[in-house]
Structure 1
Amino acid sequence: MSESLSTLFGALIAERERSWPADQLARNVAQRRQLVDRFDPAAVIQPGSPLPPKLLKDLDGGTVALPDLGGHPQLLLFFRYAECPACSIALPYYARTLWPELQRRGIGTLAISPQVPERLRAIRSRFDLPFPVLSDEAGGLSRAIGILFAPDVQPDPPPPGWPGEITGTSSWELPQPTALLVDGRGIVRAVTVSPDWLDRPEEEEILATVDAALARDIAA
């Protein structure tokens, strides 16, 4: 049986507690706690709303127009960026556990980040991800659905690896990890946001949400 996502994140947190300077660890914990405290579910796109039309870039030079989903439901997995340690745990975990179950249900999977395509290729190739990875250029789709955040403290000049360098913009914004189910007509059916990027839903939690949303569609 695969380890749970919470167990994998717990190991990452434990390693940081052993190896990070106390002030760096405290800043990280405080930022994640602040995001949880400030999170407003009403500010995020709601089930029943149409997915805003946006053009995303694939990693091979093409484009994908959402919500043109080919008539099939899709689970959109929004993540921070390729070098994010938590994303480098979560996406392979979902590829191992969630993706096969979604396939059996006839549901596609798309992983989406505002990072520039040339840097996103690293996470696809490193973990041999079986689903498409798309670049949400300048965070346009993430902003439209209400999941972007920026830290309160923004050093000037920005340090190496700051969000603008990651996304190729002048913005400090990054998306909060989100699992968003869209039906074949481009209507949002379920959305789960993780304000704390080290506390994301397990595969079975997402599947339960997906199954409940699809059952409501059948009953409607």
Structure 2
Amino acid sequence: MTVTQERRVTGAEFARLVERNALHQRMVTAGDRLPIEPLVEVDLGPIHLDRLLRTGPVVLLFIRHAGSSACGAALTAYRTGLAPSLAARDAHLVAVSPQAPRRLAALKHRYDFDFLVASDPRHRLIDALNIGFAAPGADIQLGTRRNVLPFAAAIVADRAGVVRFADVRPDWSTPIAPDRIVAALA
């Protein structure tokens, strides 16, 4: 994989990978507790999920990196189709990537996102949710000396830190409908 290429996993390959490795038994599901791992917001610095949960539910959208056009397109669509509904419900929207904060900041500033864009540079949250996969060569794009990328995922946790919704997909080519995410907040 070169720096400009992105590892693609088809739906069928994803299903085989999940089945072969029994990933579905380990991936985050509704009813799980949201792991409280530190993240680094690209403009604000360290953020703590437990502190965000004190003021409202949290919606986490896992993306690969700033150079991914599919991830950028999905987040752009969520900015208009999801973020206003979440704000009306006092919910926090956080895009999460294992990319180094300084590189990930380019994505937030390019699209002028008004929601949190955070780095999980040691992929601790990604690992705790079991939504990562090895992608040899990704360390170059991520700038973290690590080769783990997350599957495309949307996770909703209520104020008590209980996961109410988890949708994990091979990539962002078919985004998760905003109304499904909002419905999980009810």
Question: Which bracket does the TM-score occupy, shorter chain normalised?
Answer: 0.7 to 0.9
Shift of the alpha carbon at 1:205?
3.2
Q: Secondary structure at the match of 1:68?
A: helix
Paired letter, 1:166: Q
Larger CA deviation: 104-113 vs 163-172? 163-172
Give, in angstroms, the shift of residue 61 of structure 1.
5.4
1:53 aligns with 2:36: yes
1:4 — aligned with what?
Answer: none
The answer to whether residue 34 in structure 2 is matched with residue 34 in structure 1 is no
Write out the 4+ residue segments of structure 1 that deviate beyond 4 Å after TM superposition. Answer: none
Q: 1:147 aligns with which of 115, 118, 131?
A: 131
Whichever structure has more strand as a proportion of its residues is 2
Cα RMSD (Å): 2.1
CA offset digits 1:198-218 (Å, max 9, x no partner): 22212233333x25xx3xxxx
Amino acid at match of 1:130: D
Residue 66 of structure 2 is aligned to residue 91 of structure 1: no
The aligned runs of 1:88-167 (5 Å cut-off) are 88-151=72-135, 154=136, 162-167=137-142
- The equivalences for 1:172-191 within 5 A come to 172-191=147-166
- SS at structure 2 position matched to 1:37: helix
CA distance in 2, matches of 1:102, 1:174: 26
Do 2:121 and 2:144's aligned partners in 1 also have CA atoms closer than 8 Å? no
TM superposition score normalised by structure 1:
0.72
Quick one: which amino acid aligns to residue 148 of structure 1?
G
DSSP-derived class of the 1:169 partner? coil
Deviations 1:21-50 (A, max 9, x none): xxxx9x966x32422332243221222222
2: CA distance between counterparts of 1:61 and 1:94? 21
With structure 2 as the length reference, what TM-score do the two structures score? 0.84
Amino acid at match of 2:76: P
Structure richer in helix, relative to its length = 1
* Preserved contact between residue 74 and residue 172 of structure 2 (Cα < 8 Å): no
Distance 1:195 1:51, change over 3 A: same
Residue segments in structure 1 that go unaligned for 5+ positions in a row: 1-24, 155-161, 215-220
Equivalent-residue separation in structure 1 for 2:144 and 2:115 (angstroms): 26
SS at match of 1:207: helix
Per the alignment, residue 62 of structure 1 pairs with 45
Larger Rg: 1
Q: Could you tell me whether the CA contact under 8 Å between 2:98 and 2:119 is conserved in 1?
A: yes
Residue 204 of structure 1 is matched in structure 2 by 179
Q: C-alpha separation between the residues in 2 aligned to 1:101 and 1:50?
A: 24
Partner of 1:77: 61
